[in-house]
Structure 1
Amino acid sequence: MKIDIEFKGEGMRIDLFLKERCKDISRSYLHKLIKNNNVYVNGKCRKKNYILSEGDHIVFEVPEPEELKIEAEDIPLEIVYEDNCLAVINKPRGMVVHPAPGNYTGTMVNALMYKLDNLSSINGVIRPGIVHRIDKDTTGLLVVAKDDKSHKVLSEEIKNRKTGRFYVALVHGNVKDDEGVIELPIGRDPKNRKKMAVTEKNSKYALTRFRVLRRFGNYTYIELILETGRTHQIRVHMTYKGYPIVGDEVYGRRDNEFKMKGQLLHAKRISFIHPETGELLEFEVELPEDFRKILNILEGRL
């Protein structure tokens, strides 16, 4: 794809201008294209921090996407429910939901392609059937669409907050309030682009509800209701409030006495309206063994 643009204005960085004009392309990918000499200003390659002037002629070349073939793999996967429209999956810890550059095997999508007869095509080759995601080291329930119509209906349910997504987590600290609401915007961490943060800059509205289930002195077992679905939302909100999730290697504490590799965050229950029948469905799964074991240890200390 080739984009030909004449800049009108003054004093704007070329990478910021292109990100504004090409909203479907990530900033990191834009930087890669600029570095690889795919962006020209007045016939010359420029660096990402080049300042544009009135009348600058920009030619922006985006290489054709590489044709990818994701293979079906016989990977163990617990299917909680399945019908002709959808499936509900209990994802284990350590499993990535869908393939990404450099990681095209061993994901939940690879397993789904082997186990299910069909998956929706809305999200393309990389994310067939994936209506919503949970992090690699978060465990629990996910809904997968088998056809495009069901995918659209389920996506709208999530967007309009008609889907109930209930999590449980073990956090550091003694949570003061028995229940509460965290309503804080989330965006890219300005100090670390690989992380998310509570920030006003380039952020999106985020709402998490919580309720204390059990206190264990320096730890608290809580239930969380995800009202919006921002990247790492629960992990970021709880860390911001001073109660990071135990085992969270990105947003958590280093003093991990349980030597957990991956956050103790579990998508325990989900409810949604079936896209074809209109029936309200609800599913719940038990905590994974490692999570239960740590709760039992804490219970024994009381």
Structure 2
Amino acid sequence: MAILNYAPPRYPYFETVYQDDDLIVINKASGLLTVPGKALEHKDSLQLRVKRVYPTATIVHRLDMATSGLIVLALNMDTHRKLSKAFELRQTSKSYLARVYGQLSQSTGSIDLPLICDWPNRPKQMVDHERGKSALTHWRCVVSDNDESLVELTPVTGRSHQLRVHMLSIGHPILGDRLYAHEDALAAASRLQLHAQSLGFTHPQTEQALVFDCPAPFSLKCEGK
């Protein structure tokens, strides 16, 4: 599936939440690719923008183009190696905020469904109990009404599109999701209502525990920016 009419926001060029000699934490805007796409018109990305200011910066993990929020980049290879290992071993903490379609029947829950690429419809993912890789998401309803709910999502694994497919699987697609939302859920917001609001990890060099929080640019019944 091609990226249609790619027009990432120009301001802010990128928003720095924290920076030291070893790493930088950014609040990525919705609509901006984390890394460059293959086509020339898809080269603009968070990676490209940050490297223009910090030439040694490298991507450690990714956020979907439509997802906003916290992402960390390494500024040297040793930090990159150690941060990558921490993400691989699930030694980081992450939480997301999402507006989803409909009213949730419970206050908390977990979704344990294996995921695999829906190859004919890539980059879409799908649930596959035979071939899929394990994927686990915990969720908590923050507030809800008849039409939609605001939920906190905590992924244990980090599969592609995990939160989007998992919420779809229980009948509550994320609003504004151009890949997975049905017509009503898609029309409810101008952008994907998914934001990486919290990120925690141990600093690879100082061994200090770091936790960053970044408020979502949307709330219940508030059109996303």
For this structure pair, what is the TM-score category when the shorter chain's length is used for normalisation? 0.7 to 0.9
- Per the TM alignment, residue 262 of structure 1 is displaced from its structure 2 partner at its CA by 2.6
Residue in 1 that maps onto 2:116: 187
Aligned equivalents of 1:133, 1:190: Cα separation in 2: 20
- Per the TM alignment, residue 295 of structure 1 is displaced from its structure 2 partner at its CA by 3.4
Aligned ranges 1:35-54 → 2 under 5 Å: none
2:53 is equivalent to residue 118 of structure 1 = no
Aligned equivalents of 1:273, 1:110: Cα separation in 2: 26
Residue in 1 that maps onto 2:221: 295
Q: Does the 8 A contact of 1:246 with 1:256 survive in 2? A: yes
Aligned equivalents of 2:112, 2:92: Cα separation in 1: 18
Residue type of the partner of 1:86? L
2:69 is equivalent to residue 140 of structure 1 = yes
Q: Does the 8 A contact of 1:249 with 1:261 survive in 2? A: no
- Per the TM alignment, residue 191 of structure 1 is displaced from its structure 2 partner at its CA by 5.3
2:16 is equivalent to residue 79 of structure 1 = yes
Q: Does the 8 A contact of 1:74 with 1:115 survive in 2? A: no
Aligned equivalents of 1:246, 1:118: Cα separation in 2: 36
2:128 is equivalent to residue 199 of structure 1 = yes
Q: Does the 8 A contact of 2:178 with 2:186 survive in 1? A: no
Q: 1:282 to 1:104 in 2, by over 3 A?
A: same
TM-score by length of 2: 0.88
Supply the RMSD in Å over aligned alpha carbons.
2.0
Aligned equivalents of 1:162, 1:215: Cα separation in 2: 31
Residue type of the partner of 2:181? G
Residue in 2 that maps onto 1:95: 32
TM-score by length of 1: 0.66
Q: Which runs of 5+ in 1 are unaligned?
A: 1-72, 120-128, 298-302
Aligned equivalents of 1:266, 1:159: Cα separation in 2: 21
Q: Could you say which structure has the greater relative contact order, defined with CA pairs below 8 angstroms and 6 or more residues apart?
A: 2
Aligned equivalents of 2:204, 2:143: Cα separation in 1: 36
Structure 1 residue ranges (4+ consecutive) displaced by more than 3 angstroms after TM superposition: 256-259, 294-297
Aligned equivalents of 1:114, 1:89: Cα separation in 2: 14
- 1:256-286, CA deviations, whole angstroms, 9 ceiling, x for partnerless residues? 4755333100000110000001110011112
Aligned ranges 1:19-38 → 2 under 5 Å: none
- 1:70-122, CA deviations, whole angstroms, 9 ceiling, x for partnerless residues? xxx99711010011111000001110111121045321111111222422xxx
Q: Which runs of 5+ in 2 are unaligned?
A: 1-9
Q: 1:76 to 1:147 in 2, by over 3 A?
A: same
Residue type of the partner of 1:83? D
